Amino acid sequence: MADDTTPLLTEQLNSNVSLRSQTSSKEFSGSENIDYRRIKPNEKSSKSHLALAIIACILGSPLQIGLNTAILNAPEEVIKEFYNETYFDRYNDFMSDSLLTMLWAITVAFFCVGGMIGGVSAAYFAGKYGRKSTLLLNNAVAFTCAALQGCSKVSKSFEMLIAGRVVAGICCGLNSAVAPLYLAEISPVSLRGFCGTCNQLSITLGVLIGEVIGMKQLLGTEAFWPILVASPAIPAIYSLATLTFCPESPKYLLVNKGDDDAAEAALIWLRKTQDVSEEMEAMRKERVELRNSPKFSVMDLWRTSELRWPLIICIVLQMSQQFSGINAVIYYSTSIFGSAGLSKESSQYATVGTGAVNVMMTFVSALIMDRAGRRTLHMIGLGGMCIFSIVLVVCLSLQSTLPWLSYISIVAVIIYIIFFATGPGAIPWFMVAEMFAQSPRTAAVGVSVVVNWLCNFTVGIVFPILQKAIETYSFLPFSVMLLLFFIFTYMFVPETKGKSISEITRLFKSPTVGSSVNDLPESDISYESLRNRYSTQVLIIDPPGIDETPEYSIQTSGTSEKVEFQ
């Protein structure tokens, strides 16, 4: 029987899987015992270079997203006065309140229109020029938006400010899609969740910085607000000064460009070790699979049954992030706190406090993401936000008769932010990457980016009108949607923690005839249990990489399944 098994094993190894000699040894005997032993490399890798690349990325590109999101919040009234003065200089009359409200809503929301444009085009630029190069080239867009926004006052043109917001959105849309991709492709599997959350952490840090420098005591004044809206140029300069010296994504170099030598050099720099053969072989395998896989368009995702449902889940997750009402808090938190009875100065301090809480809780979320699980944290976040959005509505409605409730409303907003950072803040973005294989992933990410920015646009344009129409009840629609998203997540969203991409995608496929590894309890997934269950059909063992778990391949009736060893 050993003579029958060995040729098939060799054939599979040559066509599908490359086994690394430094991580395993193979022994075949007449009794068909297979003994695999991991041999630890003599050279230990270091994460210092990886940390430098991550910091260069997140403090350059994602930081711009948070900064551009928050810089108009605190100086809202000052910039509205500029709108009115400009209008008066032109027409010798002031704007009506309704026109001013609409123009301000357009100023806020057109940032999201640009975000959709940038998000849609991200796949093209990232594929043609590379992840790192796209991020660096995008800084030219950042400088353009800074110039438009910063020169709007001296040009006496609020249209220039609105145009600058659109360009800023294009810049941030590109960053929102490409930066997480770069972080995911330079990071080992064991740090995938942490690095995905670092992206969101940088965005929240940008929001906090924007809220701090936008205070009246700093740049949120009539004289200095043009400097404030030009400030996103600073992280763009930082990006050029640091990311330039970091390598391109090794996966892009090998899988997309076919440059094995450049990919290996990049990986050696990132891991700070010469022993990168395991990751190189894994990427070569992915390149072969990608070449043999069909290209997927957005319509293909809808037509293919096993892709349609994960796409729907990803769309709903993106909606749950934006329709949770979080950007209503970020865009209009100062006015919300003003409605709670705080003075303008106190409202700005409270806004900064919520930003600080968001940063701290996003950092905590990064630490527990790979332990608690994505689905669990997302449900906790949605449930907590639903409860405290209702508390906020009640407090705002009754504070005229019970003034002390204004303080409870501030606490409710802060706890609401805590629950957002716990789950919906980061999880929707890397869930989409985890639920799709390499071939359909680009199309799925493109759809997710567009949906996210479209929902962001809707909130930005609708909330000020909603707030003017129903006042203290303006958060009630978000409460209802949060409840619906919680129910959807509980019923339909799978847990992806600790699962390989192949295991996750298999959850959405139609059941196959015969027994499957999915029938085995997780505790029973081991070599012995698989060999006992499938007799001699356990033909291939894909040995583990440094940051991976082993995968056993089971050959049954011409098809193969892979399962991670736990």
Q: How confident is the model at residue 44 (pLDDT cuts 50, 70, 90)?
A: low
Tell me what pLDDT residue 489 has.
93
Q: What is the CATH number of the domain that holds 58?
A: 1.20.1250.20
177, 211, 246 — which closes off a domain? Answer: 246
Lowest mean pLDDT among 215-229, 433-447, 543-557: 543-557
pLDDT > 60? residue 536: no
423, pLDDT greater than 70 = yes
pLDDT at 134: 95
Q: Where residue 104 falls among pLDDT bands split at 50, 70, 90?
A: confident
Mean pLDDT value across residues 172-178:
91
Q: Among 250, 284, 252, 255, which residue's Cα sits nearest to residue 267? A: 250
- Last residue in a domain, options 227, 246, 265: 246
Examine residue 378 and state whether it is found in any structural domain, yes or no: yes
Distances (CA, A) of 272 to 40, 49, 267, 278, 498: 16, 7, 8, 14, 26
108/182 same-domain check: yes
Q: How confident is the model at residue 297 (pLDDT cuts 50, 70, 90)?
A: confident
Mean pLDDT score of the chain, rounded to an integer? 78
Q: Is residue 528 part of a domain?
A: no
Could you tell me if 207 and 319 lie in one domain? no
pLDDT band, very low/low/confident/very high, at 347 (cuts 50, 70, 90): confident
pLDDT tens digits for 354-408?
888 888 888 887 777 767 778 889 999 999 999 998 998 888 788 778 878 877 8
Given a cut of 80, is residue 79 above it in pLDDT? yes
Q: In the beta sheet, which residues pair with residue 538?
A: 554
Q: Per residue in 425-458, pLDDT tens? A: 878 877 887 787 767 877 888 888 889 888 888 8
Higher pLDDT, 48 or 523: 48
The span from the CA of 381 to the CA of 482, in Å, is 10
pLDDT at 500: 65
Asked if residue 535 belongs to a domain, the reply is no
- Average of per-residue pLDDT across 260-265: 92
Report the range of poorest mean pLDDT among 245-249, 379-383, 387-391, 462-466. 462-466
Tokens 């301090």 sit on residue: 349
Taking only the tens place, the pLDDT of each residue in 479-511 is 999 999 999 999 998 887 777 666 777 777 644
- Domain total of the chain: 2
Residues 230 and 359 in one domain: no
Closest residue by Cα to residue 110 from 148, 62, 58: 148
Residues 242 and 114 in one domain: yes
Residues 322, 225, single domain; the answer is no
Same domain assignment for residues 164 and 99? yes
DSSP 95: P
- Asked if the structure places residue 202 within a domain, the reply is yes
**Overall average pLDDT of the 109-126 stretch:** 88
198: part of which helix (H) or strand (E)?
Answer: helix 192-213
CB atoms within 10 A of CB 25: 13
Per-residue pLDDT at 469 exceeds 70: yes
Task: Answer yes or no: is 296 within a domain.
Answer: no
Does residue 29 fall inside a structural domain?
no
**Average pLDDT score over residue span 90-97:** 89
Q: Is residue 66 part of a domain?
A: yes
Which value, in Å, is the radius of gyration of the alpha carbons in the chain? 26
Which of 475, 508, 541 is a domain's end point? 508
Per-residue confidence (pLDDT) for residue 204, from 0 to 100:
87
Residues 70 and 178 in one domain: yes
Question: Looking at the structure, do residues 242 and 339 belong to the same domain, yes or no?
Answer: no
Residue bearing the bigger pLDDT, 295 or 322: 322
Q: Higher model confidence: residue 303 or residue 313?
A: 313
Give the domain range for residue 374: 301-508
Considering only CA atoms, which of 260, 243, 234 is closest in space to residue 71? 234
Same domain, 218 and 326: no
Beta bridge partners of 555: 560
- For residue 548, being part of any structural domain is answered with no
Look up the pTM and report it: 0.73
pLDDT in the model for residue 381: 93
